[in-house]
Structure 1
Amino acid sequence: MLDLFAVPEAVEPLPGGQGRSVRAGDLVLSPDRDPDVLVWLNPALARLAVRLDERPGRSLRDLRIAMPVPARDGSWSVGGWGASRFEPGTVACDDLAVLAATAHVLHAELAVAVPQRPDGLDDREDRWARAERQAFGEQPLITAAGPGATLAARLHEALRPVDLGPDQLVHADLAGNVLLDAYGAPVVIDVAPAWRPVRWAEAVCALDAVMWFGAPLDALSAWSQGVPRQAILRAALFRVLADALDVDVAAYERALGPVLVAGPGGG
């Protein structure tokens, strides 16, 4: 695998994510990549990355995307591993305001870069894809026995029909996947593609920032009523279903306090 990506055999584990990505030379190698997704996603991201870097008048602090890199045979994955360019001198971003601003710009760019729903999204059957479809009512709610089952049912019961906005390509796992380079520019990595409303993707980002990256609990107060509440209910249901066997129910209940107790008129 390393030979096909033309990198040295010595690898260095990288922090963040699920702790399984490694640095090999000037590449970051990440496991468990779906080749059917990468074959359409990576070319689109590569074109967008170049366009952003070469845009006339760009500021040193403007959005960047980590460049996907194919193997020597032109394939985008080798044995389930994908590669992107290593970004030296970057640090993880856990500031929710920066993450929200990054999401806004990124999704505006993705809407132009990928204007039509890619066929490959329909073929996904991983746990995140199944959880996403259940959160949007496209599949019946199925909860495995475990600590999250009762919470998932409670979230599901609170859902109401609502217009969250048009579907488009979004990053469904943005919190934890934004780096800041030496100039303070956000560098987006590990795009988790979904064809959903931007408001939902931003709700997932806000929820994850509170749950895992130290954002204050009151950051979710803005999501406790009306349409925003319906977005974050679907975001929470998505996460709880995807992680059904390893859900910290108490942590979710703390984070979602104002969302879960919203009364009549709260959406």
Structure 2
Amino acid sequence: MKPSAHVLDLFAVPDDVRSVPGGRGYSVVAGDLVLSPGRDEAVSGWLNPILAPLAAELDHERPRSLRVAMPIPTRELQWVVDGWGATRFEPDARQCRDLDVLLATGRLLHARLASRVTSPPPGIGDRTDRWARAARVAFGESQPTGIPNEMVPLVSHLMAALDDTGFGPDQLVHGDLAGNVLLDADGIPLVIDVSAYWRPVLWAEAVTVLDGVVSMGADAGVMAGWSSGPRRQAMLRAAIFRLLSDERLRVGDYRTALGPVLS
């Protein structure tokens, strides 16, 4: 997939584009920008004005411990054109696969977001994509529909284990951190593709742990730390969220990873 000449012109980058390794394989580098398709104009309209000043602030801190990819508007000050959005390209950045680093990065990011965003941004509850729908089911705000037959027993088991144990206040969180943290040329974590939710931090951390185990080869022993109390409730909701939004139907992988949580 390649952005049109119109998109490239508005973002003021050359027509010489190349694919970005990793992710879903759809993003491209053009000039000094990474262009990514499938961006929601409404979400970008409220999220990017939060991320841009945070990215600038973090880039000027010394010593640096965290970075956020800088969103870049078009020359007409649009965040999204024909579904394409842009961030500044970071040469020599590589994917972070260390779960401990991912968790530490999430804690730093969420502390920054909590201090900057103290109430739900307008529009954050308006998403209707499959991830937003899955999150609503996980938090008991709607009922699941259209679940594939092979997934029903595990989802039913997870939902039956839910209770009203609290695990923290809602705030702005990145609900897809694993796979979306790079290490820049200096080894500083760089957060990309923020998938924004107004949910508890512990839930976002549980999603990161689950993704690390199921998708990134992290030590499954970490799941034992999520087998009781508030952490278990966060992990149950993370698992429901992932099962209902993951189109790859990796039911066996999730069931194996969740063994300590469900026993």
CA–CA separation in structure 1 for the residues paired with 2:23 and 2:136: 23
Match of 1:54 in 2: 60
Aligned residues: 257
Q: Which moved more, 1:115-124 or 1:90-99?
A: 115-124
CA–CA separation in structure 1 for the residues paired with 2:207 and 2:78: 31
CA–CA separation in structure 2 for the residues paired with 1:15 and 1:186: 17
Match of 1:11 in 2: 17
The Cα shift of 1:144 comes to: 2.5
Aligned AA (1:69): I
Unaligned runs of 5+ in 1: 262-267
Match of 2:257 in 1: 255
SS in 2 for 1:195: strand
Aligned counterpart in structure 2 of residue 178 of structure 1, from 181, 197, 200: 181
Contact 2:181 2:190 in 1 (8 A): yes
SS in 2 for 1:182: coil
Aligned AA (1:253): R
2:73 is the alignment partner of 1:67: no
Contact 1:148 1:249 in 2 (8 A): yes
Deviations 1:74-117 (CA, angstroms, capped at 9, x unpaired):
11001111100011111100101100100110000011122210
2:170 is the alignment partner of 1:167: yes
CA–CA separation in structure 2 for the residues paired with 1:234 and 1:97: 21
The 5-angstrom pairing of residues 48-127 of structure 1 reads 48-55=54-61, 58-60=62-64, 62-127=65-130
CA–CA separation in structure 2 for the residues paired with 1:149 and 1:16: 31
Aligned counterpart in structure 1 of residue 156 of structure 2, from 153, 159, 175: 153
CA–CA separation in structure 2 for the residues paired with 1:83 and 1:72: 12
CA–CA separation in structure 2 for the residues paired with 1:103 and 1:246: 25
SS in 2 for 1:162: coil
Q: Which moved more, 1:199-208 or 1:215-224?
A: 215-224
CA–CA separation in structure 1 for the residues paired with 2:112 and 2:248: 34
Match of 1:139 in 2: 142
2:27 is the alignment partner of 1:25: no
Contact 1:49 1:65 in 2 (8 A): yes
CA–CA separation in structure 2 for the residues paired with 1:15 and 1:158: 39
SS in 2 for 1:12: strand
Contact 1:143 1:149 in 2 (8 A): no
2:200 is the alignment partner of 1:192: no
Deviations 1:26-72 (CA, angstroms, capped at 9, x unpaired):
111111111100001011100101111223xx214x10111000011
SS in 1 for 2:182: strand
Match of 1:214 in 2: 217
Contact 1:147 1:246 in 2 (8 A): no
Aligned AA (1:174): L
The Cα shift of 1:153 comes to: 1.6
Contact 2:165 2:229 in 1 (8 A): no
CA–CA separation in structure 1 for the residues paired with 2:112 and 2:76: 29
Unaligned runs of 5+ in 2: 1-6
CA–CA separation in structure 2 for the residues paired with 1:104 and 1:143: 34
The Cα shift of 1:22 comes to: 1.1
Contact 1:143 1:152 in 2 (8 A): no
SS in 1 for 2:8: coil
Normalising by structure 1, report the TM-score: 0.93
Assess, with a 3 A threshold, how the Cα gap between structure 1 residues 10 and 162 changes in structure 2: closer, same or farther. Answer: same
Contact 1:20 1:30 in 2 (8 A): yes
Aligned AA (2:63): S
The Cα shift of 1:146 comes to: 4.1
SS in 2 for 1:123: coil
